[in-house]
Chain A
Amino acid sequence: MELDKIEEKDLKMGKANQDVFSETLQALAETDRNIIAVTSDSRGSGKLVPFGEKYPNQIVEVGIAEQNLVGVAAGLASAGKKTFAVSPACFLSARALEQIKNDVCYSDNPVTLVGISSGVSYGALGTTHHSLHDYAVLRAINNIIIVAPADNFETEQAVRLAAKTNKPVYMRYGKKAMPFLKEDNKTFEFGKGRVVREGNDITIIATGETVYPAWLAAKKLEDEHDMKATVVSMHTIKPLDIKLLEELASNGRPIITVEEHMVNGGLGEACASHLFQKGFKNPFKIVGIPDEYTVTGSQVEIFNHYGISKDGLFKTCKELLDI
């Protein structure tokens, strides 16, 4: 499996979500001078060079200083600017965590924190550059929406919605091109999961760039075993779409969650916690990065190693379905 190579003729290949972010922010800035991007020497990796050239008065550079990045962004937001603070997810969500907690969330300054090259997108650059903790740490902070868009549709919608939402938002995405996962795109709301494939035999709840391999695994399951999986892009990790979650669990079928995040404290544990407390007893498997030194490799190699892949998820489906 290659994340940026289309494997399925039914899907249309799109761009990298980071390019969609940049284009959408430019489109918003064209009519709204209050849109401000704040960068930490990250305009290149954040694909914001064209934005900076077109709107030099709407980009604030702070240099490699993530704490200041978030503090300054909070000040700009407090002054009425629709502020997008863009920095690699690994640094943004760890080094500036206290600024996120206090200056953005606790002080309720509506900054959109954009974690670029998230998860293991940086691949062989290693653990310093991976963000496998961001869902967990931010889930433990009050007053923040956590979003991991899967495809270009979700990314564009998430950026537009973040600009309108008067609340702190953390958004993260990677660098690889993503296919459009569904044609009949309807409304997009934070906190409402998006069903991208329907079936009654098993449910796969994935988020961010793991939705694509989940979709491929479901297709393989159908092609090879005539069994159908529901695949959900749970793009909003917080607040979690508990209504959809309960609907999905109500048939008693197995549930697999998939995330580009450590299994501790992420999407899977959030789903499991809710369902268990509500009395659901579905067979349940959390697929993510285990609590160990992450294997060395590219994003796809790491995905394959930990079963976040078409074949890996297909195998997990078979195990849970006992086929």
Chain B
Amino acid sequence: MASVELPVLKPGDYGSDQDVRWCPGCGDYSILAQMKKVMATLGWPREKTVFVSGIGCSSRFPYYMNTYGMHSIHGRAPAFATGIKSCRPDLNVFVITGDGDALSIGGNHFMHAVRRNVNLNIVLFNNRIYGLTKGQYSPTSELGKVTKSTPMGSIDNPMSPLSLAIGCEATFVARSIDVHIKHLADTLKRAAEHPGVSFVEVYQNCNVFNDGAYKYATDKAVKADNVIEIEHGKPLIFGKNRDKGIRLNGMHPEVVELGKGITEDDLLFHDEQATQPTLAYLLSRMRYPEFPEPIGVLRCVDAPRYDDLLNEQVAQARAEKGEGDLDKLFNSGDTWTVE
């Protein structure tokens, strides 16, 4: 019998014939490259994959993937994706969004797609600025940020996308960095394989309007002190010499130095599968410069998925009542005949 194995696809097979038009040096290129690489390892047919995006630089992404795709309207990609996934559970649906798209105009849809646990893969490119509209501050821009629309500095308290997602009880929450390519690829792969909603925040550089926003997390000289790579079941250790860690002091995390009476066993051990989202939320609150910022998977738990439940209800109704019969329905209840 002939082999029925799927053809092996290479990352290049996932590129569309369209010219990529991001600014030279944009962090989006790296995310696109890693996404293609991950796609090739997942073994999914290209035609079963759909990329949905909203508006913004990141949202041009679907045009560059040789899969099915929809470039939709500002902030609403999770709603389109929910419609697709609800009707077609057989499709792998990705939502590509930015910090403005997902958290400002699309905050509502983001929140509801996450809390419903629709089996979507949401990737948020966070450059902490509005790029496409040329440089206004975003919901993740830091206090005091001077931009075209905030000449005296932003007075909006920035939000944490991870905290928001965990607050909505996201079943998979992770963070990575555009230039940390291996970590990014591993994270995207785990997210794609997660049944239920997955949310990945990617720190991404906008070299035109917000260059170096994440220098603390990417600069070789300092990143080891400012970023902590978390892994399930492992203690929270960081630093160039891996001599620092995070310890819980009551309800609060604190940075401690190993040695001088403090051992690994005193540190906080990461449990991405904790039923309660408390630990994941605590990690999501750790911000530079007070803390090293966590990258990796903060939370990964199993929960019922909206699209499955919806289709199970349809199947259940058909099993219980039989396939709908319109003639029977039309003639049900009170009727009368005119001769």
Same complex for A and B? Answer no
